[in-house]
Amino acid sequence: MIKSAVTISIVDEARGGPFVFWDDFPAACSKAKRLGFDAVELFAPAPEAVPSSDIKSLLEEHELGLAAVGTGAGMVIHKLSLVDPSESVREKAKDFIRSMIDYGGPFGAPAIIGSMQGRWGSEVDEPTALGLLGEALVELGEHARQYRVPLIYEPLNRYETNLVTTVEAGVDLLTGLDTDNVKLLADLFHMNIEEADLAAALRAGGKHVGHVHFVDSNRQPAGAGHMEYEPIAQALRDVKYDGYASAECFPIPDPDEAARLTIESFERLFR
Ligand code: LER
Ligand code: MN
């Protein structure tokens, strides 16, 4: 069964970004529970930014899951990328992601690699960058295995990466890797920019899809834009997707209303 989740950012440097709740993790957990979400997704500046013991007690108190932990702070704060020209920066990028895998893993939450994938450019050409990205995904995907969680890799739209921008390119990358423990994140906002047909892309992604960012065409909460959700929901059901639909959207008009509109859309589509 597809489960609902809502994002919480405690990264100051990411202010203005597409996250529903901000700053106060305990308050956001209690709101998520009250609205009926199954889980929360945490965007944190570093491991232990919310101590693991606090996460444990809050999740237990509210009977919530931890859907995933984002790693974007590695890029936003530290400018780390997996395809940086400098080997020492690439190693630091992997160390940061490994520490995030270790943070979420005990809660059954996979780490997401989005912006930390970086871009190819004048110093690192496209095949080299894709090779470096692939090697890092294998290493980190295998690291995640000890927690029985996958590593989640997110194709982004063309304005945020030039590496992998579609589900199809993501599947091509993953199927060439020497691991089966990396899954794709289908972010409906990025897909709305890059895919010809979102439902067809999800069907073709099939078992490779491991996480969904549930958001509307304008990056507002599901229901506030012009996304055609019915075929998307049908495609997810048809491929027997049973992960999270996690609200990663702007808190428009405000976090509470964004969360409320999201769960209303989620229930209409998936319950
Ligand atoms: C970035 O645009 C995004 O969608 C996030 O999930 C990754 O940091
Ligand atoms: Mn996303």
Could you please report the per-residue DSSP string of 142-193?
HHHGGGT--EEE----TTT-SS--SHHHHHHHHHTSS-S-EEEEEEHHHHHH
- State the closest ligand 1 atom to the C-alpha of 115, by its place in the atom list counted from 1: 8
- Ligand 1: list residues with CB < 6 Å: 70, 72, 114-115, 154, 156, 160, 187, 213, 248
Contact 44, 14 (CB under 8 A): no
d(CA 230, CA 261): 16
Parallel/antiparallel/unpaired status of strands 244-247 and 209-213: parallel
Ligand at shortest distance from the CA of 17: 1
Compute the distance from residue 186 Cα to the ligand 2 centre, in Å: 8
Alpha carbon of 114 to ligand 1 centroid (Å):
5
Tokens representing 255?
């976090």
Low-confidence ranges of the chain (pLDDT < 70): none
- Residue-wise pLDDT for 29-48, tens only, equals 999 999 999 999 999 999 99
**Predicted pLDDT of residue 109:** 99
- Distance separating alpha carbons of residues 112 and 68, to the nearest angstrom: 7
DSSP string, 181-211: -EEEEEEHHHHHHH-S-HHHHHHHHGGGEEE
**Amino acid at position 200, single letter:** A
What CATH number is attached to the domain comprising 135? 3.20.20.150
Nearest CA to ligand 1 atom 3: 114
Instruction: Determine the distance separating the centroid of ligand 1 and the alpha carbon of 97, expressed in angstroms.
Output: 15
pLDDT digits (tens, 9 = 90+) for 106-117: 999 999 999 999
Ion ligand 2 — residues with CB < 5 Å: 187, 213, 248
pLDDT at 204 (0 to 100): 98
Structural domain containing residue 200: 3-270
Q: Residue whose CA is closest, atom 5 of ligand 1?
A: 114
CA of 157, closest atom in ligand 1? 2
CA of 217 to the centre of ligand 1 (A): 14
The residue to mutate among 194, 244, 248, 250, having the most atoms of ligand 1 within 8 angstroms of its beta carbon, is: 248
For residue 89, the CA-to-ligand 2 centroid distance in Å is 23
Number of domains in the chain: 1
pLDDT at 40: 99
Please report which residue ranges of 43-166 form alpha helices under DSSP H.
Answer: 52-62, 73-76, 87-104, 126-144
Distance, in Å, from the CA atom of 90 to the CA atom of 96, rounded to the nearest integer, reads 10
Distance CA 183, CA 207 (A): 8
Nearest residue (by CA) to ligand 1, atom 7, is 114
Q: Ligand 1, closest atom to CA 70?
A: 8
**Ligand 1, residues 115, 119, 167, 190: which to mutate, most atoms within 8 A of Cβ?**
115
Nearest-CA residue for ligand 1 atom 6 is: 114
The pLDDT assigned to 93 comes to 99
The reported pLDDT for the residue numbered 220 is 99
Q: How far lies 189's CA from each of 76, 82, 149, 172, 218, in Å?
A: 20, 23, 24, 21, 7
Q: How many CB atoms lie within 10 A of CB 206?
A: 15
- Specify the pLDDT at position 45: 98
